[in-house]
Structure 1
C-alpha cells in the first residue's frame, strides 16, 4: 500500500506540471480563435468566458492523453535513473506488477476521456454553434437612428433614437396582399430568442388600409417577429441520439473513431510505458521522452491513415494492432531483462 501511494505521488508530481503547461498553451490557441470572432460579432467579457467554457472539454481531451502517457514514462524513467526501480525489482516486484499498480488509474482516465469526447464535446460544439449563430443574427441587424431605407425582414423601418436594444419613435411599413400596413410605436425593445429576433412594441398604433377600407388598432403591447438569417441550427437532444444519427447516416464517423481511439491511447499503451521507463542507468541513457514522442506521433498517424479509411472498424482493429506490437516490443526488451 505504501509503495502504491509512493508511485502515485511520484506520478502526480510529474503529471500536473506537464498537463497544466499543455492546457495553458492549448487554451491560448483557442482563446486567439475566440478573440478573432470579435471582428465579426460583439461580445462582452461574460460572453467571451461562456464561449471559452464551451471549449474546455476539447482542451482537456487533446491534452490529457498525451500528458498522462508522457508523465507515466517520465515517472518510471526517473525512478530508474535514481536506481529506485532496481531496488523495487529486487524485492520481487517485476514490471508486470508495477504495471498493475498504474492500471486502475489508467483505465479510469480512458473511461473519463470517452465520456468527455463522445458525451460532452458534441454538446459543447452545438452550444458554441448556437451561440455564434445567435450573435451573428443579432449582428446582422444593425438599425441606425434617423436613416431611411433600412429593413427588418419584410418591413421598412425608421427610428429616431436607440439605446442598446431599446428604440424610440419606431415606424414600420410594408405592403402585403395589396394592403398597406403602417405601425408606429413610442418605444420598442429588440428581443433575441435563440436567434429569432422580434420587436416588442409598446404604446402605439397600427394602420391597415387599401383602396376600399381603413382600419386603425391602438395597442399597449405588440410583437413583430422575424428571423434575420436563413441558417438553420441542427437540434441536439443528447449525445446518444446524436451519434446514433451519425452512424445511421454514416457521417462524421471519422470523428467518432478519433475520439474513441484517442481516449484509449493511455490504456492500450501500457506496455510502452514499461518499455520506455525501465532502463539501467549504468549501461543505458535516458531516452524516455524521445521514445514517448515518437510513440505519440506514430499512434496519431496510425489513427489518421487507418481510421479514416475503415472508420468504425478501426475502433477494435487499431487497439489490437497497437497492443500486439507494444507487447512484442516489451517481450523482446524489458521482459527478458527483468
Structure 2
C-alpha cells in the first residue's frame, strides 16, 4: 500500500503540471478560434465564455491522454534515475506490480475519455453550432469599416463607414465568386432579418456581372436592390448522441467524417489502457548503464501512435478500431518482456 501511494504521489507531481500547461495552450488556441467567429457575428463577454465552455470536452479529450502517458513514463524515469526503483527491485518488487498499480488509473482514464468522446463531444459540438445559428438568425452581423475579408452570406464585403444606426452602412462593396459572379457598389446598405431570411437592402448603386454566353461585363444601375440569403440551417442540430453516431453506418453526406471521428475517438480513448506496458518499457532504466533519453522516446512513441490513428481513421476506420488496439498492446507487451521483465 505504501509503494502504491508513493507511485501515485510521484505520478501526480508530473500529471497535474503537464495537464495545466497543455490545457492552457489548448485554451489559447480555442480563444483564437472563437475570435475568428467575432468577425462574423457579434457576441458578448458571457457568450464568449459560453463558446469556450462548449469546447471544453474536445480540449479535455486531447489533453488528458497525452498528459497521462507522459506523466506515467516520466514518473518511472525519475524514480529510476533517483535510484528509488532499483532499491524497490532489490527489495523484491518486480515490474509487473508497477503495471498492476497503474492499471486502475489507466482504466479510469480510458473510461473518462470514452464518456468525453462518445457523449459529451457530440453534444457540445451540436450546442456550439446551434449557438452560432441562433446568432446568425438574429443578424448580429459584425462588419467593421475599412477591413477586408469580411463575409455576408456568400458575399465578400468591404464598407467605408458605419452609421450609428444598427446594421446600417455607407459606401459598401460586395463581391461574389460563386456561380453567379458579380460586383456590387452601393451608397447605403441596411441589413435586417425578415422571417428567418437575411436581407441586405442596398440603395443607389451599380451591379457588374459577367455574362457567360458573350463573356461581356454587364452594368446595371439601381436605386434599390434587395439581396436575400436564407440563413444556413444545419440538419443535425436536433440529433441526439445515438442518432449522431448512427450517421457513420448508413449513406449520407456526413458519413465519412462521422466514421473518421468515431475511429479516432475510440482509439485515442483506449490509448491509456492499451499503452499500459509502454510505461515500464520507456520509464524503467538502469541509471548506471543507460542514458536518460526518456523525453525523446516519449515524443517518438506518441508521434507513431497518433500517426497510426490519423492514417487508419482516414483509410480503413472500422478495421483500424479492431486491429490497432490489439497490435499496439501486443507490441508494448513484447517490448516489456524483451527489455524489462527479463532483467528486473
Q: TM-score normalised to the size of structure 1?
A: 0.73
User: Retained in 2: the 8 A contact 1:54–1:128?
Assistant: yes
Partner of 1:123 in structure 2? 123
User: SS of the counterpart of 2:72?
Assistant: helix
Give me the whole-angstrom Cα distance separating, in 2, the residues matched to 1:140 and 1:50.
Answer: 17
1:320 to 310, 320, 326: 326
Partner of 1:38: 38
Structure of larger gyration radius: 1
Task: Give 1:105 shift.
Answer: 0.6
| Correspondence for 1:3 | 3
- Kindly state the Cα deviation for residue 316 of structure 1 after the two structures are TM-superposed: 1.6
Residue aligning to 2:145:
none
> Could you report, residue by residue, the CA deviation over 1:252-300 in whole angstroms, capped at 9, with x for unpaired residues?
2111000000111111111111111101111111111111111000001
Gaps of 5+ in 2: 143-163, 168-191, 199-227
Separation of aligned partners in 1, 2:277 and 2:87? 21
- Quote how far apart the aligned CAs of 1:39 are: 1.1
- 2:91 & 2:8 partners in 1: Cα distance? 19
Paired residues for 1:26-65 under 5 Å: 26-65=26-65
1:337 is matched with which residue? 343
Structure 1 equivalent of residue 76 of structure 2: 76
Does structure 1 retain, via aligned residues, the 8 Å contact 2:277–2:336?
A: yes
Deviation at 1:163, TM superposition (A): 8.7
Change (3 A) 1:316 1:138: same
Alpha-carbon distance change, 18 to 89 in structure 1, aligned in 2, over 3 angstroms: same
Q: Does 1:259 align with 2:265?
A: yes
Residues 274 and 325 of structure 2 are in contact (CA less than 8 Å); yes or no, is this contact kept in structure 1? Answer: yes
How many residue pairs match? The answer is 267
Following the alignment from structure 1 to structure 2, what is the Cα–Cα distance between the partners of residues 335 and 93? 11
The partner residue of 1:248 within 222, 237, 250 is 250
Distance across 2 between alignment mates of 1:230 and 1:330: 54
Contact 1:55-1:124 within 8 A present in 2 as well: yes
Q: Indicate conservation of the 8 Å contact 2:139/2:193, yes or no.
A: no
TM-score normalised by the chain length of structure 2: 0.72
Q: Distance in 1 between matches of 2:58 and 2:232?
A: 29
- Distance across 2 between alignment mates of 1:191 and 1:104: 55
Counterparts of 1:134-149 in structure 2 under 5 Å?
Answer: 134-139=134-139
1:19 and 1:64 in contact (8 A); partners too:
yes
Give 1:309 shift: 1.8
Please say if 1:92 is aligned against 2:98. no
Aligned counterpart, 2:150: none
Structure 2 partner of 1:282: 288
Aligned to 1:238: 240
* 1:6 Cα offset (Å): 1.3
Match runs of 1:221-236 below 5 Å: 228-236=230-238
CA distance in 1, matches of 2:31, 2:269: 24
Q: Deviating runs (4+, > 4 A) in structure 1?
A: 162-165, 195-198
For residues 72 and 335 of structure 1, the distance between their equivalents in structure 2, rounded to whole angstroms, comes to: 18
- CA–CA distance in 2 between the matches of 1:83 and 1:294? 25
Counterpart position of 2:215? none
Alpha-carbon offset, residue 241 of structure 1? 2.4
Say what the alpha-carbon RMSD is for the aligned residues. Answer: 2.6
Kindly report which structure 2 residues correspond to 1:147-166, keeping only aligned pairs within 5 A, or say none: none
Gaps in structure 1 of 5+ consecutive residues: 143-161, 166-189, 199-225
